[in-house]
Structure 1
Amino acid sequence: MKNIYIVRHCSADGQMPNAQLTSEGVKQAEELVSFFEHIKIERIISSTYDRALQTIEPLAQARNLPIDKEPRLTERIFSTVAIDDWQEKLKISFQNPDISYEGGESSREAQARIIAVMEDIFAGEDDHIVIVSHGNLIINFLLTINANLHYKDWQALSNPDVFLVTQMTDRISYERLWGK
């Protein structure tokens, strides 16, 4: 059985790849160290975005584990141009996972990235893994387990948030551990 803890990054000051954790986000990252205190971890994998790395650095240091930087875990590229009604457009993408906006990727394309990462993890030797990513990518993965998730479930995500994905011989399940 594999236990994969999917962590959404802590509170940050923006959405750009170089966005930093806020002072509250730094405190949240320290809280994650306590949260994982009695949980076995063999490997840590993170998005390459600064806010994701800053989220997991305190835990990696506390456990003396390296952080494997994984570009496939970066946030979904929604569009390369500003979209005033982006939340409405995001809502539409839950109804039509193949829709994409200028310069962006569809939900299905983003989902393929995180599925590929998860397949690598499922095929790997480590059984207790923490990955750090972003809300839209995480919800797109969870949709592969629970097709009933919607826009409102994305809205309900917190910074940080933690989900435990369990792979057993015949099925994959998840439960929300942090943002309940």
Structure 2
Amino acid sequence: MRHAHSTYTPDELGRPLSERGFLDAHEVTGLLQNENIDHIVSSPYKRAIQTVEGLAKYVDKKIEIVDGYKERKLAEGAVENFDLAIKKVWNDFDFAWEGGESNHTAQKRGVDAIVQLIDQFNGQNIVISTHGNIMVLIMNYFDPRYDFSFWEQLTMPDIYKLTFDSTQLIDVSRIWSP
């Protein structure tokens, strides 16, 4: 899932949810509380953790922090024109802005994290709280329909259920509709 709405600060790691984000995180708990969750995994970023804290308490599961689900680093520091910068990396998967990750690099990190979870918890239900860009890059690896235009239409939060047979993606369904 993509985390709930956050209050912008330049502190990527410590950026918290907004008031609206906390309300949506509460809805996420209600939506997922009866889904037989075996594990809850999160990016190390505060907004991703906060999105699933209520769910973790409700289903009595510890949130496992996995670095592979942190958001892709677009560039070192702020970019002058975010729209141009993000389009450039999506148009050329090998391109990286100075100090940033290319789509291929970020995608490999995310996919490696997914494959590790599948190997470790095969057949179990896992909630992953992550970020929009890395989430779509992971989905794109398994199915190229999940691309830049798909990313542009995401909401905060946004939840997709991915079903795998081993490491083969067999189904994707959207389960959050704000």
Secondary structure in 1 matching 2:74: coil
TM-score, normalised with respect to structure 2: 0.92
1-structure distance, mates of 2:121, 2:143? 26
Of the structure 1 ranges 99-108 and 169-178, higher mean CA displacement relative to structure 2 is found in 169-178
User: Who is 1:27 aligned against?
Assistant: 23
Instruction: Decide whether the 8 Å contact of 2:33 with 2:58 is kept in 1.
Output: no
Query: What aligned pairs does 1:1-180 form with structure 2 within 5 A after superposition?
Result: 7-14=1-8, 16-125=12-121, 127-168=124-165, 171-172=168-169, 173-179=171-177
User: Deviation above 4 Å: which 4+ runs of structure 1?
Assistant: none
2-structure distance, mates of 1:77, 1:31? 29
Deviations 1:129-159 (A, max 9, x none): 0011000100101101221333221110110
Structure 1: unaligned runs, 5 residues or longer: 1-6
User: Who is 1:3 aligned against?
Assistant: none
Residue-pair matches, total: 174
1:169 is displaced (CA, Å) by 5.2
2-structure distance, mates of 1:34, 1:170? 29
2-structure distance, mates of 1:27, 1:149? 28
Superposed CA RMSD: 1.6
User: Who is 1:4 aligned against?
Assistant: none
2-structure distance, mates of 1:69, 1:152? 29
Aligned residue type for 1:83? V
TM-score, normalised with respect to structure 1: 0.91
Q: Higher relative contact order by CA 8 Å / sep ≥ 6: 1 or 2?
A: 1
Deviations 1:114-142 (A, max 9, x none): 11111111112351100110001001011
1:38 is displaced (CA, Å) by 2.0
Aligned residue type for 1:44? I
2-structure distance, mates of 1:17, 1:46? 12
Secondary structure in 2 matching 1:8: coil
2-structure distance, mates of 1:129, 1:169? 14
- Aligned sequence identity (%): 26
Deviations 1:68-106 (A, max 9, x none): 011111100000132222212211212211100011011
